[in-house]
Structure formats: C-alpha cells, structure tokens
Amino acid sequence: MTGIEAFVRGLPKTDLHMHIEGSIEPELMLELAARNGVTLRWDTPEALRGAYRFENLQSFLDLYFEGCKVLVTERDFRDVTRAYLRRAHEDGVVRAELFIGPQSFTERGIPIEALMSGVLAAMEDARGAHGMSVGLMISVHRHRTEPDAFAVLNQVMPWKDDIIGIGMGGAEVGNPPSKFARFFRAARERGFRTAVHAGEEGPASYVREALDLLHVDRIDHGNACLADPDLVRELAIRRVPLTVCPLSNLRLKVVPSLEEHPLKAMMAHGLHVTVNSDDPPYFGGYVTENLLACREALGLSRDAIVRLVRNGLEAAFVTEEERQALLLRLDAYVRMPVDG
C-alpha cells in the first residue's frame, strides 16, 4: 500500500449517500435468502456478482428490488445494517447517514416495526462498538404517488426522534421533483432535514426544482447541474451540498469513464461536493475506493481529497458541536506526518 493510499484510507470521512438495502454483499444476500426460504436467480456469490452489469439506472433498480426480497425479519435488517457499518468503520467512516426505503418492504406485508427496530438496533451497536456517528434517512420512491409518500411519512412518525431526514430516490426520468412538492413541505414542517436524488439521469431542471420547489437541504448526485451556469453559481453561493457517487455513475453509465466524471469540474466551480458510496457491492467500492479511484482517474491532489472529506463533514446532518469535533479530528489527522 502506498503512502497516499494509506493516508486516504485513514482519513476520518463521511458516507452521506448510502442505501441500506443496496449494501447487501452477495454472500450475505444468499445467506438471507436461505434463511427466509427466498428463491433467487443466482446460486453463488460469483454468479450474483456477474449480474452487476448495468445499462442504466432502471436495469440496476430491477436487480436492487429483487435483492430487497431477502430482507424479511427484524434480524435481517439488523444484520445488513450492522454489516455495512462494520465495513464503513474499517474504511475510516466516522459519520454515516443511511437511507432506507420502507415501501419496498411494507408492500410485501413486512411490519414497519421490524424494519425500524432492526436498523436502529444495528446503529446503536455501531455507536457502542466503534464510536461511530450514525443517522437514519427515510427514502420514498419517486415512481410511486405523492399520497404513497405521505403514507410513509405518517408510518415513521413514531420514530421521529430517531430519523435525521427524509429523502427520495428511484427511477428519475419522468418523475420530476415537482411531483412531490407538497410532500417535502410537510416533511420540513414536521422538523425533518430533506434531500432528494436529482440530476443523476435527470436534467439540470430537476436540480433547479429540488432547490426552488422542494427547498431541500442537500442534493443527492446533482451531476447535471453543470449544464446550467446560473444554477451552478447559485449552488456555489448557497453552499448546497451535493452527495456525488462516482463509481455508481460509472457502473450505471451516467459517465462513459471515470476520467470523464464531472467531479473535478464541480470542484473547480466551487460546488460543495462530497464523495459517497451509494450501493457499494453493486458498484464496486465503498467510500475509500471511490476516493482512490477518483484520485487516479482525475489526478486529484492530496489537498483535493482532504477538501472532499472536509465537505462531507460540513454537509453532515449533525449538531454544530459534533461537526466542529469531527473537523478537529480531521485537522489533527491531516497534520500527522505521512510517508510516501
């Protein structure tokens, strides 16, 4: 391992855009399928990994939702969440903010209590075992209706104090943020921070709608904003965080190659970009692999990597006191002498 690789791996970093149901490693997916009597199309981890060849976001979502079927009991949700947090801790993640979309499970009759209890128990385990800071984001599906989203919001209210924010993901094209304007207003009125996937496969106008109509605190992805110079200036001035997922963009063919990823251009425009893992097993890397791959493909300097990590800490949905403590931890790490 080179000195710079060791440096990047050791950085106290965030992962602010990661889906719990998209974090199931193939071995665990097959184990859960056997546990719950669920039949999958793949018999071995190698066969499942071989299916991770996607043409676009929808082709990924088809496999993603099939994988969701192995999550049935409270224990399943706890095991999957705990496995990701254990791996994230090894990756140097000090603050993880995790999405989960209850609709994939409640539509199959799985009690919302099983999902929430399992995920929250795993988060508490990670806090105790690793000293990690962990937050839970509830995500709704944009291909469903706004009344469906309101139903989720009402379902999770008993756990309001355990949820840091409300987000929205799923098939973007044809499902603009404006479709959910009343839902996001209600989420804000109930005290939640908000985020929305926009500008991944959708146009820059979707990012504009997220800002002007949904008034979200963060944009998940946001790549397409570069097509609108006025939007770029506004995002930069307002320091709206963009949770970029480079390896996800590569695997879903949002970009033809990592060398052509807009991350470096976004940084040059002064955008508040962060690097995240999205659905790490499916896309070939956790947050450190994303940072290292971008460093190599885009020629990012050590200072640029530190800037991206600092952006993540500044964008996290934490108290200002916790943020300052995490930033001090980063500063102390950066000052340490590094070989290589």
Tokens of 236: 């930069």
Beta strands, E only, the chain: 13-19, 93-100, 133-141, 165-169, 193-198, 218-221, 241-244, 272-275
The CA-based angle 325-329-82, given to 5 degrees, is 85
What Å distances lie between residue 37 and 30, 72, 75, 136, 197, CA to CA?
10, 10, 15, 28, 33
Check: CB of residue 287 under 8 Å from CB of residue 88. Answer: yes
Residue 110 φ then ψ, to 5°: -80, 125
Residue type, 117: S
Q: How deeply is 10 buried, as exposed, middle or buried, from its count of CB atoms within 10 A (0-12, 13-18, 19+)? A: middle
Bridging pattern class, strands 165-169 and 133-141:
parallel
String of b and e for 253-290 (b: at least 16 CB within 10 Å)? ebbeebeebbbbebbebebbbbbbbbbbbbbbbbbbbb
C-alpha span between 113 and 131 (Å, rounded): 26
Going by C-alpha positions, the residue among 56, 65, 58, 52 that lies closest to residue 19 is 65
Residues annotated as catalytic are 200
C-alpha span between 78 and 123 (Å, rounded): 8
